């Protein structure tokens, strides 16, 4: 078993594989309709990380004998233990918000008033659309996803509606240009 530095992506892969075996492509598809809505990372990691986890003994890999030689990954008992330990560990880190709109707002004293107004309009629309999409997902999958996935989705809706409201209030406070 190789030494492996665990990252958030490591646990994301273990969490997804705990629901059943998958290829890297299948992991990418699962992320696109779930975690990818609130956890941003390079999706190329979904092709590299499972192999590293296999080297560490946290997942098993089965390679097709012919054709594309697709690799299917399956979580091991050690992988389940690592996931359980991570879930049980405290999460004292602060939330990392990497919002380009917020960054632009921070430096808005250097912008033209009309550009600040356009920023607020665009950000309000963007967060409204994301919240609307989360609500559509909630309607479509609410009865078929587990309680904790549903709660994660509900937090996403609340977050997006709150940020949408912030930009709407800012827009109301800005002079017409």
**Average pLDDT, consecutive stretches of 10 residues, N- to C-terminus, the chain (177 residues):** 80 95 94 81 87 96 89 97 95 82 94 95 96 92 86 93 98 89
Burial class (CB in 10 A: 0-12, 13-18, 19+), 89: exposed
Task: Report pLDDT for 3.
Answer: 60
Which residue carries 């709407």 as its tokens? 168
Task: Report pLDDT for 21.
Answer: 97
Task: Report pLDDT for 128.
Answer: 97
Q: How far apart are the first and last CA of the chain?
A: 63
């Amino acid at each position: 078993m190789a030494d492996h530095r665990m990252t958030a992506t490591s646990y994301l892969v273990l969490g997804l594989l705990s629901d059943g075996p998958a290829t890297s492509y299948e992991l990418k598809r699962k992320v696109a309709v779930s975690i990818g809505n609130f956890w941003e990372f390079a999706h190329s990691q979904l092709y590299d990380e499972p192999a590293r986890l296999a080297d560490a003994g946290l997942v098993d890999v089965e390679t097709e004998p012919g054709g594309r030689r697709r690799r299917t990954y399956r979580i091991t008992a050690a992988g389940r233990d690592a996931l359980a330990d991570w879930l049980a560990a405290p999460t004292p880190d602060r939330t990392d918000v990497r919002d380009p709109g917020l960054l632009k707002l921070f430096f808005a004293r250097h912008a033209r008033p009309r550009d600040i107004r356009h920023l607020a309009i665009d950000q309000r629309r963007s967060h409204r659309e994301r919240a609307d999409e989360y609500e559509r997902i909630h309607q479509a999958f609410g009865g078929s996803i587990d309680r904790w996935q549903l709660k994660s989705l509900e937090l996403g809706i609340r977050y997006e509606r709150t940020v949408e409201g912030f930009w709407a209030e800012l827009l109301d406070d800005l002079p017409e240009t």
